[in-house]
Amino acid sequence: MSQALQKNGHLKMVRHPHMLAKAQELIPELYHHDVLPQAMISAQPDAQQIHGWRADVVNSAEDFFQYDFAQGEHVIIDFGKHCIGYLEFTCEAVGSPPDAPAHLQFIFGETLAEVVEPFSEYNGWLSSSWLQQQDCYLDELPGHTRLSRRYCCRYLRINVLALSRKFQLRFTSLKLDTVTSASLATLPACETVDLQLKRIDEVAVNTLKNCMHDVFEDGPKRDRRLWLGDLRLQALVNDVTVQNYSLVKRCLYLFAAMTREDGMVSANIFVKPQVIADDTFLFDYALFFVDVLQEYVAVTDDSETLAQLWPLAWRQIELAMARVAENGIVRDSSDWWSFIDWHEDLNKQAASQGVLIYCLNKALMLARTYDSSKVTWLEAQITTLKSAALRELWDPQSGFFVSGESRQISCASQVWLVLADVGTPESQRQLLAHLLTHPPEIQMNTPYMMHHYVAALLQVNEREQATHEIKRYWGAMVEHGADTFWELFDPLRPDFSPYGSKLINSYCHAWSCTPSWFIRKYLL
């Protein structure tokens, strides 16, 4: 029996206990691995580095455990790689017996800038509580401490804020207990002979691994939530790497466990302390529930899950089609109704038309195997929506699809209408070539949007250009020192953040891991 919960605007949220029970049966095992400090470093300003800082090794990790810290001193530790886990350490007093607590501050950074630039100067619009720092008071020395909060870092800054004058502080042990639900023990080898692609694949796999916990998280530093757009791309990479299909299944059931009263799935799910669907609902993300289900069933042949989730998938189609105007085009609005990409000036209408057609095609694949009564209707709607896109959105003068009342030209509109298979294969190929030679002002800001661009290139058999874009974009992050791929990357604007500060950006982000899917599925 479903349970109606709190209001969301004019519609209630509804919990579906039987779906939640299915999801909870699939909570994964977590794998633990200790990571030890690799070096003590100093941070030096360096305009040649992407975030303006260079790490210089000043001492070995062994030296750290021999050093006696006085009040006011600090140290920056490099763990040598991006880690997700729990900090554990043991301290002792050196000198007189400790007659006051030791006050330590730990600052965790995925990048060096996060442990150098003061958080007090942060002026972004996301809550500063996402900035990773924790104060710790040690009342008894010697003593062992494990921080209860999970952190995400490569670098750790320890500030010794207060000690008694009678003693100094020495660390006798320090480690990160890293956690993931991804087992890499049976990871298939990446068979490419291209060394740059092989390195990009390694970083992409590490990105996925560090985002896999009791759900596919969008980012282990910030949000730590299950987002449908991220899940869609993580599930693809999972197919060719970790192959944890139970986790994909769990995430599908979590979205089904709590929906809006009209049946729309939320854009994201909070898992703890209890499962709660967020009150953010996005046109494109809701449709991607159909896509994730189709891809999951295609790989697993799980007919039982399809039978249970098909009604909810179909409901996303019905709700999306209700937004289509009489001219066959998805209605635009000024609110945050569709995501597409992080770009404050991007009009979403044309790209959302493409997402709708794309997901109707996915629904058609499911209907042909499970619900033949829907096939004819779906085929007719796909034809109608494609024709409408060519009639209403194509601008022969510019050679691009346009979007919204302003008839905006953007990369996203072209990419999504190619992915929707609007036009002929030759016209799609010409459109993507035109996009290269006449780039619009509204460009792509995220690896998420870049994924779809590469997918569009592969759809029109531009394999060489797709490979070039992977190396140009994700390869540049590797050259900048990334060992996990970032949420946001603009080579021309290294400090770009839609949130107002690079310090709050995520530098291990789920939607950035897809080079592994391209490399292993298409480019070997």
**3 state SS for 36-58:** CCCEEEEEEECCCCCCCEEEEEE
pLDDT of residue 8: 45
Tokens of 300: 């697993």
| Strand 102-109 with 151-162, pairing | antiparallel
| Crossing angle for the helix pair 228-240 and 447-459, to the nearest 10 degrees | 60
DSSP 499: T
| CA 404/CA 176 separation, integer angstroms | 49
If you search the block for the tokens 């502080």, which residue do you land on? 169
Please report, in angstroms and rounded to a whole number, the separation of the first and last CA atoms in the chain. 49
**Strands, DSSP E only, in 61-199?**
74-95, 102-109, 133-138, 143-146, 151-162, 167-180
Where are the chain's structural domains?
A: 31-180
pLDDT in tens, the chain (524 residues): 455 555 444 679 999 999 999 999 999 999 999 999 999 999 999 999 999 999 999 999 999 999 999 999 999 999 999 999 999 999 999 999 999 999 999 999 999 999 999 999 999 999 999 999 999 999 999 999 999 999 999 999 999 999 999 999 999 999 999 999 999 998 999 999 999 999 999 999 999 999 999 999 999 999 899 999 999 999 999 999 999 999 999 999 999 999 999 999 999 999 999 999 999 999 999 999 999 999 999 999 999 999 999 999 999 999 999 999 999 999 999 999 999 999 999 999 999 999 999 999 999 999 999 999 999 999 999 999 999 999 999 999 999 999 999 999 999 999 999 999 999 999 999 999 999 999 999 999 999 999 999 999 999 999 999 999 999 999 999 999 999 999 999 888 888 899 999 999 999 999 999 999 999 999 87
122: alpha, beta or left? (left if phi > 0; alpha if psi -120 to 50):
beta
Instruction: List the structure tokens of 229.
Output: 């757009």
Determine the 3-state secondary structure of 427 from DSSP.
helix
Gap between the Cα atoms of 353 and 414, Å rounded: 11
3-state SS class at 66: coil
pLDDT at residue 4, as a whole number: 53
- What is the value of pTM for the model shown? 0.95
* CB atoms closer than 10 angstroms to residue 423: 18
Exposure of 272 by Cβ count < 10 A (0-12 exposed, 13-18 middle, 19+ buried)? exposed
Q: How far apart are CA 401 and CA 391, in angstroms?
A: 10
- Enumerate residues 6+ apart whose C-beta is below 8 A from 383: none
- Judge whether 471 and 447 are in contact, CB under 8 Å: no
Q: How many CA atoms lie within 13 A of 55 on its CB side?
A: 25
Any idea what DSSP says for residue 451?
Answer: H
Per the listing, tokens 């030890």 go with 36
Residue 230: the pLDDT is: 97
Burial track 110-123 (b if 16+ CB lie within 10 A, e otherwise): bbbbbbbbeeeebe
Owner of token pair 């690896």 = 447
Q: Give whole-number Cα distances, 502 to 114, 280, 488, 499, 511, in Å.
A: 9, 24, 9, 8, 18
Whole-Å CA distances, 341 to 47, 48, 215, 221, 284: 29, 28, 23, 20, 11
pLDDT at 133: 97
For residue 337, the cross-strand partners are none
For residues 152 and 106, the answer to whether their CB atoms sit within 8 Å is no
Q: Which of 266, 384, 323 is nearest to 8 (CA)?
A: 266
Beta bridge partners of 268: 227
Structure tokens at 69: 């810290």
User: Tell me, what's the pLDDT at 297?
Assistant: 98
In CATH, the architecture of 31-180 is Sandwich (2.60)
As a whole number of angstroms, the distance between CA 171 and CA 62 comes to 11
Q: What are the beta bridge partners of residue 490?
A: none
Residue 188 one-letter amino acid: P
Q: Which two tokens stand for residue 4?
A: 């109606």
